[in-house]
Amino acid sequence: MNPNLHLWLIPLLPLIGAAINGAFGKRFSRQAVTGVALLFCGAAFAMALWVVSQFSSLALPHTEYVATWIRAGTFQADFAFYLDQLSLVMLLIVSGVGFLIHIYSVGYMWEEGGYYRFFAYLNLFMFFMLTLVLASNYLLMFIGWEGVGLASYLLIGFWFTKDSAASAGKKAFIVNRIGDFGFLIALFLLIQHFGSLDFTTVFQKISRFSPETAGAELLTAIALLLMVGACGKSAQIPLYVWLPDAMEGPTPVSALIHAATMVTAGVYMVARSHVIFERAPAALTVVAIIGTLTALFAATIGVAQTDIKKVLAYSTISQLGYMFLACGVAAFSAGIFHLMTHAFFKGLLFLAAGSVIHALGGEQDMRHMGGLRTKIPWTFWTMTAGTFAIAGIPPFAGFFSKDEILWRAYQASWIYWLIGLSTAFLTSFYMFRLWFMTFFGDYRGDLEDHGHGASHAGAPAPHGHGHGGIHESPKVMLIPLMILAVLSIVGGWVGVPESMYGANHFERFLAPVFHSTTSSAELEQTGATDGHGLTGEGEQRTSYTAERLFTGISVAAALTGLYLAWLLYLRRPQLPQKIARSLNGFYDMVLHKYYVDEFYATIFVKPLIDGSRTILWHGIDQGVIDATVDKSAEEALDVSDTVRHMESGNVRSYASWVAIGAAAVIAYMIWVASR
C-alpha cells in the first residue's frame, strides 16, 4: 500500500499564502509580502521534489482521498488527488517554473503598486493550477480549470485602471467561458453515460469501448467537446484571440500563465483523457488539424508583429499548436515532452523579454530596440539560449521535442509534417528576427536622450524609476533567467530518440500512462531494444535513417530561417519594407492578424451587443419590466391624484363620506336581513 504523501498540501500551501497576502498584505511591507509568497510557493515546490524522491517507491497510479465533496445518488465526486507520471511531470513544471517566476517577479514588480495583490493572485493561480494537475476527477479538475481562468483574468487586468488591460481581462474570461461551456457539457455527458467523473472509473469503463463498437460517436462527441474546452484554455483556433491581448498583463504573468503553465492545461487535459480520444479517431483528426492550422496560422502572424511580447504570444500559440498536433497524431508523450521544453524556453523568453522591457523602461516595440547585446549581456545570452531552443537548433531543448513531434506527424500524414516543417521555418525566422532586431544593429530607441520615463507603451509607467537609461536587471531577475536558460539547453536531453543513439527516457517514463497508445514505431523500438529477432533490423535502420533525414531537413529549415532573419533585419534592414510593399495585401492581412478580431467582432460580438441592447435592454428590460413597474406607479399616481380630492382636509367632506358609507352599510344589512 502506498504511503500517504499528503498531496493535498501541495495545492493548499499556495492558497494559504494567497489568503495571507490577500487579507493582510495591504499592511505588510514589501519584504513581508515577498517572504510569504515565496515561502509558500517554494514549500509547494519543495514538496513536489520530495514527492519525486518518493516516486520510485509508489505503485502507480496513486490516488489520495481527502474528503467527499458531492454525493448525489450514485454519483460521487471527491476531493481526491491523482498522481502518476503525467501529473508528476506537470507538477514539477508548474511548481518549479512557477517558483522561478515568483522569484523573478520580486524584481520585476518591486516598484509596482498593488505588490501584495500581485503575489496574492500569483499564489492563488498556483493553487488552482496545482489542483488542476493533481485532480483525480474531472470535476475537481474543472475547479482548477475555472480557477486558473479566474486568476488569469485577475492578473491580466492587474493594471485595471488601464482600459485596455481591463477589457483584455474580460475578453480572456469570456472567450474562456465558451471553451468551459464545451468542457462542462462533456462532463455532463460523462456523468450521464458513465455515472462518474473519476478518472480511473471513467477510463476503465471507456476502455471497454473500441472505435468499432457502438457508442463511438458518443465518445467522439465527448472528445470534441473536451477539445473545445482545450481550445479555449490553450488558445487554439478559433478561440485563440484572447491570448495576444492577455499580454496586457505584467510580463511575469505572461511568462507563467500565458506561456508556461495555464495555456498548456488544455494539452494536459487532452493527454489526460487520451483514453477517450484514442477511441474517437475523428476527434483525433480534428485535434491534429486544429493543431497544425493554429501552428502555421499563428506563426505567420508572428512574423509581422513588432511588439516583442506579441511575437512571443503568437509563437506560444503556434507552439501549442504543435502540442495539439502531437496529441492529434496520438503521440501524447511527445506533446507532453514539447510542453515541458516549451515551458522552459518560452518562460525563459518571456522573462528575458520582460528583462529587456525592464531595461528599456517599459519599451515593447522592437523597432525602438536594437544593439542591446552589449548593454544587457546577461539578458542577451539567456535570450539567445531561449531563441535557439525554440528555433529547434540542436542540441537545444526545443530541437528534440519539436523533431519528435514532426517525426510522429510524418508517420501520421506527410501533410502534417509539411505544415509543421514550414511552421518550424517560420518560427525560427521570426524568433531570430526578434533576436536580431533586439540585440543587434544599432540602438533605435530614444532612451538616452531624455533619461528614463520614456514612452511606456506596454507595461504602464511604473518602470520609470530611479536610474535612467538602459540598465541590466537586478540579480533576482537574472538568476531565474539563468536557471531557465540552462534548462532550455539541457531540458531536451531527457528525450533523445534512439535515432540519435539516445534512449528516449522521457517517453519510456510516460509510457505507463499512455501504454495503450504506444505507436508502432515505439513497439518496434522496444522490440528492438528487447532484441526481438533480426527480422526488424532492416526497416528499423531505414526508419532511423528516415528519421535522421527528417531531422536534418527540419534543422536546415531552422537554419534557413536564421539566415533569412540575419539577411533581412541585420544585413539589409530596408529590405523588409520592400517585401512588405511588394506583397502589400498579404502583409497587411498578416499585420492585422488576418482581421480575425474584426471578424469575430462583426460576426459574434456586435450582433450579440446589438441584440442585447435592442431586445434585452430596450425591449425586455425597459419595454416590459421597467414599463410595467413605471406604468403601475403612474397608475397608482393617477388614481391617488383623483382620490386625493377626497382628502380635502375639510371636515365636512370627510363627514359626508362617512355618511354615505353608513348608508351603504345600512343598505347592505337590510339586504342581508331581507334575504
Residues 318/326, Cβ–Cβ less than 8 Å? no
Subset of residues 412 to 441 that bind other proteins, contact rule: CB under 8 A: none
**How many of the chain's residues bind other proteins (CB under 8 A)?**
18
For other proteins, the closer CB: 556 or 663:
663
State the Cα angle at 629 between 625 and 635, rounded to 5°. 140
Q: What's the closest the beta carbon of residue 623 comes to other proteins, in angstroms?
A: 41
User: For other proteins, which stretch binds (CB under 8 A), given 8-16, 147-155, 156-164, 659-667?
Assistant: 659-667
For other proteins, the closer CB: 534 or 651:
651
For every residue of 397-447, DSSP letters joined together read HHHHHHHHHHHHHHHH-HHHHHHHHHHHHHHHHHHHHHHHHHHSS-----T
Q: What's the closest the beta carbon of residue 648 comes to other proteins, in angstroms?
A: 6
The Cα–Cα gap between 151 and 122 comes to 7
The Cα–Cα gap between 139 and 79 comes to 9
Cα–Cα nearest to 112, from 343, 336, 362, 344: 362
Q: What's the closest the beta carbon of residue 638 comes to other proteins, in angstroms?
A: 20
What DSSP state is assigned to residue 59?
P
Subset of residues 608 to 647 that bind other proteins, contact rule: CB under 8 A: 646
Q: What's the closest the beta carbon of residue 669 comes to other proteins, in angstroms?
A: 9
For other proteins, the closer CB: 501 or 671:
671
Residue in 582, 651, 672, 675 binding other proteins, rule: CB under 8 A = 651
Does position 649 interact with other proteins (CB under 8 A)? The reply is yes
Q: What's the closest the beta carbon of residue 658 comes to other proteins, in angstroms?
A: 8
User: For other proteins, which stretch binds (CB under 8 A), given 250-258, 265-273, 484-492, 661-669?
Assistant: 661-669
Residue in 208, 652, 672, 675 binding other proteins, rule: CB under 8 A = 652
For other proteins, the closer CB: 415 or 660:
660
For other proteins, the closer CB: 415 or 663:
663
Does position 659 interact with other proteins (CB under 8 A)? The reply is yes
Residues 436/566, Cβ–Cβ less than 8 Å? yes
Q: What's the closest the beta carbon of residue 672 comes to other proteins, in angstroms?
A: 12
Q: What's the closest the beta carbon of residue 114 comes to other proteins, in angstroms?
A: 56
Q: What's the closest the beta carbon of residue 647 comes to other proteins, in angstroms?
A: 10
User: For other proteins, which stretch binds (CB under 8 A), given 194-202, 230-238, 508-516, 662-670?
Assistant: 662-670
For other proteins, the closer CB: 594 or 654:
654
CA distances from 42 to 121, 219, 444 (A): 16, 40, 40
* Helices assigned H by DSSP within 110-162: 115-134, 138-156
In sequence order, the 6+-apart residues with CB closer than 8 A to the CB of 674 are none
Strand ranges, E, within 29-133: 62-72, 75-83
For other proteins, the closer CB: 574 or 642:
642
Q: What's the closest the beta carbon of residue 664 comes to other proteins, in angstroms?
A: 8
3-state secondary structure of 70: strand
Q: Which helix (H) or strand (E) holds 614?
A: none
Residues 274/219, Cβ–Cβ less than 8 Å? no
| Residue that is written with C-alpha cell 536531453 in the block | 493
The Cα–Cα gap between 180 and 143 comes to 11
Residues 398/342, Cβ–Cβ less than 8 Å? yes
- How far is CA 415 from its chain centroid? 27
Q: What's the closest the beta carbon of residue 639 comes to other proteins, in angstroms?
A: 18
Q: What HEC string does 257-315 produce?
A: HHHHCHHHHHHHHHHHCHHHHHCCHHHHHHHHHHHHHHHHHHHHHHHHCCEHHHHHHHH
Residue in 65, 160, 604, 657 binding other proteins, rule: CB under 8 A = 657
Residue in 4, 210, 622, 656 binding other proteins, rule: CB under 8 A = 656
Subset of residues 281 to 340 that bind other proteins, contact rule: CB under 8 A: none
The Cα–Cα gap between 191 and 182 comes to 14
Residue in 306, 663, 672, 675 binding other proteins, rule: CB under 8 A = 663
Residue in 2, 653, 672, 675 binding other proteins, rule: CB under 8 A = 653
Main-chain dihedrals φ then ψ at residue 539, nearest 5 degrees: -60, -30
The Cα–Cα gap between 117 and 154 comes to 10
Q: What's the closest the beta carbon of residue 673 comes to other proteins, in angstroms?
A: 8
Instruction: Enter the C-alpha cell of residue 254.
Output: 505572461
Does position 70 interact with other proteins (CB under 8 A)? The reply is no
Instruction: Enter the C-alpha cell of residue 594.
Output: 488576418
Q: What's the closest the beta carbon of residue 657 comes to other proteins, in angstroms?
A: 7
Subset of residues 138 to 157 that bind other proteins, contact rule: CB under 8 A: none
Which residues contact other proteins (rule: CB under 8 A)? 646, 648-653, 655-657, 659-663, 666-667, 670
